[in-house]
Structure 1
Amino acid sequence: MTTNLTGYQTEILAHIEFIGRFYGLVSRADLIKRFDISEASATRTFQLYNSLAPGNLIYKPNIRRYEWQDAAKPIIDVAMSKCVSTLTDGFGDSFARIDEEPIAIKNSLFNVNLEVLSAVTRAIKRKQVIKIDYFSKSSPRSSARDIIPHAIADSGLRWHVRAFDRKSMEFRDFVINRIKKAKPLSGEVIPETQTGSSDNDWNEVVELKIQAHPNLSGSKSMIEFEYRMVDGLLRKKVRKALAGYLLDTWNIDTSENACLRGNHVMLHLKNSNELSFPGKLLAPGSLHSNNN
């Protein structure tokens, strides 16, 4: 039904559908404001959407807006993460701050330094070595390191850059907000062993089999419903290098005998005894796995 649409048509119809679906009402003014099109063009766009999805939107003349119907079925496939980020930060075509109160709020202790972040991402795209001044527990006054970054990732608590570290001669994670300065080193030759293709822990994917914590049997059905578990399990595939962060962020008990207690420990890694990866020590219960 939507396979014959151009990229622009898909984008503008997705905008109609997003506003209608999440805010309830959508108008031609919404399209004119975002896409800078004429009122006649906006009218034709709504006609196109209604021809593809009759009944999803009903026009209300008294308020001059289209109302999303409760029984409507979306026709544009969108990513959940994109919807959530749009609700918190506004629409993706604008980099300006949004003035109005957002409908969703992020809960974070800090923001990423954009100057440092952009220096890192440029180095990733240009395949460059960068010299950073980096704060760590072992170097509280910062120390210089040459790194070759190949990816950035949100651990759930912090943004990290995944990079080869020429000081330790291994791939490591660096917290972006601990980088004081970042300077590209032009003309540096990067061996294949120091590129992302050689980062085995990043390239390997492990499957976490997560269950409701056995100590919370009375809440089992609630937890399974909340986490959308199937047959009592939430199966989550994650890069090996990032698995420890996810387990830590969500307080997932990794002890083999599910020995942790506390109302904040609602989940247990059922296949903990089958998995070994860097960062597992970050996870709750990892030091208790051999206790009986």
Structure 2
Amino acid sequence: MTPHINYDLIKRFHFIELIVFWENRLTTKHIQHHFNISRSSASKYIQDYVKLYPKSLTYNNSKKGYQATNHFMPRYGEKDLGTYLSITQQGIQSEYYNHFTAMQSPLVPVNPKRVSGILHALKHKQRIDVGYASVSNPEFESRIISPHNLVFDGARWHVRAYCEKNRDFRDFVLTRFNGECEIEGPAEYDQQNDTLWQTQLVVSIEPDPRLTANKAKIIALDHQMHQQPNGHYKRNLKVRAALLLYLLKQLRVDSYQANPEAQQIILSPDCLANLQPYMP
């Protein structure tokens, strides 16, 4: 009997497709934990999906889970990485909104085949050998890394990881991996060992002092600044030291514009001095 497709089932089917698409292995535990339901109910949702699309999924005995076939095609919602992370980090209270639009990055989208190993390593805290290319070394080379967090800088996805080649924590752009991945055992370093990740900084922004008072007030409203006792506007933002440069780029204060209307905001002088040790 074909299941009746209602709102509740659409949510579960969307979740099933996200897990299959990004993790390449679906089990009843995924659905149980996310929707807080019994194992039998979770199993039924998978079977309902398989009945509707019998050629989309196949059970892999060695991996003890369902995987996508060549006929698999997501049908129930967005499948981008941001959606995957947003949905999988939510629980039974998660809802979908029909009147919400977010601009996607115009850069090359992340290929799931290239990063499934990275996601697996993150989830299971593993040390992996991966192929990575950079501007300084455009040929893919082996890197042994221990990833601990995914980061979206507003345009590109990165993974924060300990790199054994550099013997330090670095950011790796997800689109630069080649998809080849070998598990090297449990991760030897995690975010607790990442000094820049653990270091919290305060970024203080204020309207460009070259602006007129009326224009400065508008800029202050745009950036949710508060008026200080001296009449000036200011806002403090907290950021991890490892993510400082991404925030400065988003605020467009990583460079200085000759036109104050183009510049709009600046870092307060004291803040700029405090951030110098963390800037290139």
TM over 0.5: yes
Q: CA deviation at 1:198?
A: 0.6
Q: Residue in 2 aligned with 1:139?
A: 137
The residue type equivalent to 1:273 in the other structure is: A
* Distance in 2, Cα, partners of 1:180 & 1:216: 48
Does the alignment pair 1:261 with 2:234? Answer: no
Structure 1's 228 and 204: CA in aligned 2 closer, same or farther, altered over 3 A?
same
1:218-269 deviations in Å (ceiling 9; x for gaps): 5201100111111211211011100111102321157xxxx64234322111
Which one of the candidate residues 7, 12, 18 is aligned to 1:34?
Answer: 7
1:169-213 deviations in Å (ceiling 9; x for gaps): 110000011111241324x3543xx32211010011111111111
Gaps of 5+ in 1: 1-31, 38-87, 94-100, 282-292
Which of these two proteins has the greater Rg computed from alpha carbons? 1
* Distance in 2, Cα, partners of 1:243 & 1:125: 25
Q: Residue in 2 aligned with 1:104?
A: 101
Counterpart secondary structure, 2:226: coil
Q: Residue in 2 aligned with 1:7?
A: none
Moved more, 150-159 or 176-185: 176-185
Q: Residue in 2 aligned with 1:216?
A: 211
Equivalences, count = 185
Residue correspondence of structure 1 range 96-245 to structure 2 within 5 A: 104-109=101-106, 110-186=108-184, 188=185, 190-191=187-188, 194-217=189-212, 219-231=215-227, 232-245=233-246
Q: CA deviation at 1:148?
A: 0.5
CA contact 2:125–2:186 (8 Å) conserved in 1: no
Structure 1's 245 and 102: CA in aligned 2 closer, same or farther, altered over 3 A?
same
* Distance in 2, Cα, partners of 1:238 & 1:144: 31
Structure 1's 111 and 248: CA in aligned 2 closer, same or farther, altered over 3 A?
same
* Distance in 1, Cα, partners of 2:125 & 2:226: 41
CA contact 1:132–1:181 (8 Å) conserved in 2: yes
C-alpha RMSD of matched pairs (Å) = 2.8
Q: Residue in 2 aligned with 1:275?
A: 275
Counterpart secondary structure, 1:275: helix
Structure 1's 203 and 216: CA in aligned 2 closer, same or farther, altered over 3 A?
same
CA contact 2:202–2:237 (8 Å) conserved in 1: yes
Structure 1's 182 and 161: CA in aligned 2 closer, same or farther, altered over 3 A?
farther
**TM-score in terms of structure 2 length:** 0.59
Structure 1's 34 and 264: CA in aligned 2 closer, same or farther, altered over 3 A?
farther
Moved more, 107-116 or 233-242: 107-116
Structure 1's 35 and 147: CA in aligned 2 closer, same or farther, altered over 3 A?
same
Structure 1's 114 and 216: CA in aligned 2 closer, same or farther, altered over 3 A?
farther
* Distance in 1, Cα, partners of 2:223 & 2:237: 11
**TM-score in terms of structure 1 length:** 0.56
* Distance in 1, Cα, partners of 2:251 & 2:241: 16
CA contact 1:130–1:147 (8 Å) conserved in 2: yes
Q: CA deviation at 1:140?
A: 1.0
* Distance in 2, Cα, partners of 1:269 & 1:120: 35
1:104-150 deviations in Å (ceiling 9; x for gaps): 24142232222333321210121111222111111112211111000
The residue type equivalent to 2:148 in the other structure is: H
Counterpart secondary structure, 1:233: strand
* Distance in 1, Cα, partners of 2:87 & 2:155: 23
Counterpart secondary structure, 2:221: helix
CA contact 2:115–2:177 (8 Å) conserved in 1: no
* Distance in 1, Cα, partners of 2:116 & 2:181: 11
Gaps of 5+ in 2: 11-81, 89-97, 228-232
The higher-RCO structure (CA 8 Å, 6+ apart) is 2
* Distance in 2, Cα, partners of 1:170 & 1:127: 17
